[in-house]
Chain A
Amino acid sequence: EVRLVQSGAEVKKPGESLKISCRASGYNFIDYWIGWVRQMPGKGLELMGFVFPGNSDTRYSPSFPGVVTMSVDKSVTTAYLRWSRLRASDTAIYYCARVAGGWTLESHFDSWGQGTLVTVSS
Chain B
Amino acid sequence: DIVMTQSPDSLAVPLGERATIKCKSSQSVLSTSINRNYLAWYQQKPGQPPKLLVYWASTRASGVPDRFSGSGSGTDFTLTISGLQAEDVAVYYCQHCYSTPFTFGPGTRVDIK
A residues touching B (Cβ–Cβ < 8 Å)? Answer: 37, 44-47, 59, 61-63, 95, 97, 100, 105-115
Closest chain A residue to B41, Cβ basis: A108
Closest Cβ of chain A to B112, distance in Å, is 21
Contacts A109-B40, A112-B50, A114-B49: A47 and B101 contacting too (C-beta < 8 A)? yes
List the A side residues contacting B100 at CB < 8 Å. Answer: 59, 61, 105
User: Is B40 a contact partner of A108 (Cβ separation < 8 A)?
Assistant: yes
Interface residues of B in 68-113 (CB under 8 A from A): 91, 93, 95, 97-107
User: Is B95 a contact partner of A61 (Cβ separation < 8 A)?
Assistant: no
Contacts A44-B107, A47-B103, A100-B55: A115 and B49 contacting too (C-beta < 8 A)? yes
User: Is A108 a contact partner of B52 (Cβ separation < 8 A)?
Assistant: yes
| Residue B67 CB within 8 A of the other chain | no
Query: What separation, in Å, do the CA atoms of A37 and B99 have in the docked complex?
Result: 17
Query: What separation, in Å, do the CA atoms of A61 and B50 have in the docked complex?
Result: 20
Closest chain A residue to B31, Cβ basis: A106
Closest Cβ of chain A to B63, distance in Å, is 11
| Residue B1 CB within 8 A of the other chain | yes
List the A side residues contacting B97 at CB < 8 Å. Answer: 105-108
User: Is B49 a contact partner of A112 (Cβ separation < 8 A)?
Assistant: yes
Interface size on B, residues (CB 8 A): 25
| Neighbour of A109 across the interface among B38, B52, B101, B105, CB < 8 A | B52
Contacts A62-B1, A105-B100, A112-B50: A45 and B38 contacting too (C-beta < 8 A)? no
Contacts A44-B93, A45-B104, A106-B97: A112 and B51 contacting too (C-beta < 8 A)? yes
Query: What separation, in Å, do the CA atoms of A14 and B52 have in the docked complex?
Result: 34
User: Is B52 a contact partner of A110 (Cβ separation < 8 A)?
Assistant: yes
List the B side residues contacting A112 at CB < 8 Å. Answer: 49-51
Closest chain A residue to B39, Cβ basis: A108
| Neighbour of B38 across the interface among A63, A97, A106, CB < 8 A | A106
| Residue B13 CB within 8 A of the other chain | no
Closest chain B residue to A93, Cβ basis: B49
List the B side residues contacting A37 at CB < 8 Å. Answer: 50
List the A side residues contacting B106 at CB < 8 Å. Answer: 44
